[in-house]
């Protein structure tokens, strides 16, 4: 069975910054309230002339450049997103067209905030079986298009952005010291929690109508207290599972990149597992929750900032709507 390596990473953040101070003028909230409860200070908002595929393609180009690979070398493009350009066709085909990746199959994967973790696991399987040599995995979201900016429970949390990684079959595909082998992946879901985070209308269960539009049922909704409990429990479970399955201790992990959901839930898990602050990579103060884009954006930033060196053991953990949760363990 072939080994699988992360041969390149990339990300793209929109220029428009939406600060907590600006949100104070839009809803009944305050910079202090948002910062204390979430750790978020600002988030990015996609440009009016852009869609999800546009920013996904920009992140993808950066990852391809990092991997030293042309789009024609890709066998598959997997785009994790809950905000595709259209529900039919898949958002990934727009990205394929923008990149000119004429030889690649392209499809979307919907696992919300865990989407990139699921995508990386799927890509790993494709490569291990010999089906493809190089797979591009993207996490991209334009959540500002589905957020109700009169609802302070949701609009303070979410931002837009895209991140990507090229997964490859051989070390030769990795440039320089970037020989980052995926050691293990773990995926779980629990459909009984499907209503904790959702966009209620627009699908076959509740088709679009005048009533669903009037009732703002096409916007993202969440049950905050329940989601907080789930996120904290899921993060602890994922880290403990990774340690047990791979026979390592928390001290052996060089960097944990959690889904950037809420500083308080991450902090609770950090205390329970006695994780030193320097082992965590956090950027939610600058970007908020970017759902499927959260992990690959942070991974790209951490790699380029030197937080991941050759030999580092990195654990990516995510949890989100569905409910879904999972991890990827990488030896950098």
Least confident stretch, 129-133, 163-167, 202-206: 202-206
Catalytic status, residue 289:
yes
Residue 171, pLDDT above cutoff 80: no
Q: How far apart are CA 159 and CA 235, in angstroms?
A: 21
Task: With a cut of 90, say whether residue 175 has pLDDT above it.
Answer: no
Across the range 152-177, mean pLDDT stands at 82
Q: What is the pLDDT of residue 170?
A: 72
Please answer whether residues 90 and 106 qualify as being in contact, where contact means their C-beta atoms are separated by less than 8 angstroms. Answer: yes
Report how far Cα 89 is from the mean position of its chain's Cα atoms: 21
Q: Are 69 and 7 in contact (CB under 8 A)?
A: yes
pLDDT of residue 130 exceeding 80: yes
pLDDT at 172 exceeding the cut of 90:
no
Residue 259 among the catalytic residues: yes
Catalytic site residue from 20, 113, 134, 328: 113
Domains of the chain: 5-173 (3.40.47.10), 180-331 (3.40.47.10)
| CB of 323 closer than 8 Å to CB of 226 | no
Q: How far apart are the first and last CA of the chain?
A: 20
Give CA–CA dist 53/91, Å, rounded.
Answer: 6
User: What is the rounded distance in angstroms from the CA atom of residue 190 to the CA atom of residue 237?
Assistant: 14
From the list 20, 262, 289, 328, the catalytic residue is 289
Question: Which residues, 6 or more positions from 224, have their beta carbon under 8 angstroms from its beta carbon?
Answer: 153
Q: Report CA-CA distances (Å) from 219 to 146, 213, 290.
A: 5, 9, 15
The reply to whether 20 belongs to the active site is: no
**Predicted local confidence at residue 121, as pLDDT:** 98
What is the SS3 assignment for 201?
coil
Distance CA 272, CA 286 (A): 25
Q: Between 170 and 176, where is the model more confident? A: 170
List the one residue out of 162, 206, 191 whose CA is nearest residue 57.
Answer: 162
DSSP for residue 306 = T
pLDDT tens digit sequence for 250-305: 999 999 999 999 899 999 999 999 999 999 999 999 999 999 999 999 999 999 99
The mean pLDDT value for 57-65 works out to 98
| Active-site residue, from 20, 259, 262, 328 | 259
């Amino acid at each position: 069975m072939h080994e699988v390596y992360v041969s390149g990473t990339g990300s793209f953040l929109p220029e428009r910054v939406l600060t907590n101070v600006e949100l104070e003028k839009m809803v009944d909230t305050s910079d202090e309230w948002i910062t204390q409860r979430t750790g978020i200070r600002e988030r990015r908002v996609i440009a009016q002339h852009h869609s999800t595929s546009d920013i996904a393609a920009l992140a993808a180009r950066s990852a391809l450049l990092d991997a030293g690979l042309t789009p024609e070398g890709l066998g598959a493009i997997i785009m994790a997103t809950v905000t595709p350009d259209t529900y039919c066709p898949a958002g990934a085909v727009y990205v394929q067209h923008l990149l000119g990746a004429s030889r690649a199959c392209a499809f979307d994967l919907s696992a919300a905030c865990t989407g990139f973790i699921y995508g990386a696991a799927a890509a790993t399987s494709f490569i291990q079986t010999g089906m493809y040599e190089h797979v591009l995995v993207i996490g991209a979201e334009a959540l500002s298009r589905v957020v109700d900016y009169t609802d302070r429970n949701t609009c303070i949390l979410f931002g837009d952005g895209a991140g990507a990684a090229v997964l490859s079959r051989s070390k030769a595909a990795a440039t320089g010291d970037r020989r980052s082998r995926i050691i293990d992946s773990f995926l779980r879901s629990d459909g009984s929690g499907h209503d904790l985070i959702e966009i209620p209308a627009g699908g076959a269960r509740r088709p679009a109508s005048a009533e669903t539009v009037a009732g703002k049922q096409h916007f993202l909704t969440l049950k905050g207290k329940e989601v907080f409990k789930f996120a904290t429990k899921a993060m602890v479970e994922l880290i403990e599972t990774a340690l047990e399955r791979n026979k390592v201790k928390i001290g052996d992990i060089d960097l944990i990149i959690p889904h950037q959901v809420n500083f308080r839930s991450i902090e609770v898990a950090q205390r329970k597992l006695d994780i030193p602050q320097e082992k965590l990579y956090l950027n939610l103060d600058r970007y908020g929750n970017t759902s499927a884009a959260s992990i690959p954006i942070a991974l790209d930033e951490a790699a380029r900032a030197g937080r991941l060196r050759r030999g580092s053991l990195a654990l990516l953990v995510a949890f989100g709507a569905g409910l879904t949760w999972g991890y990827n363990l990488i030896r950098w």
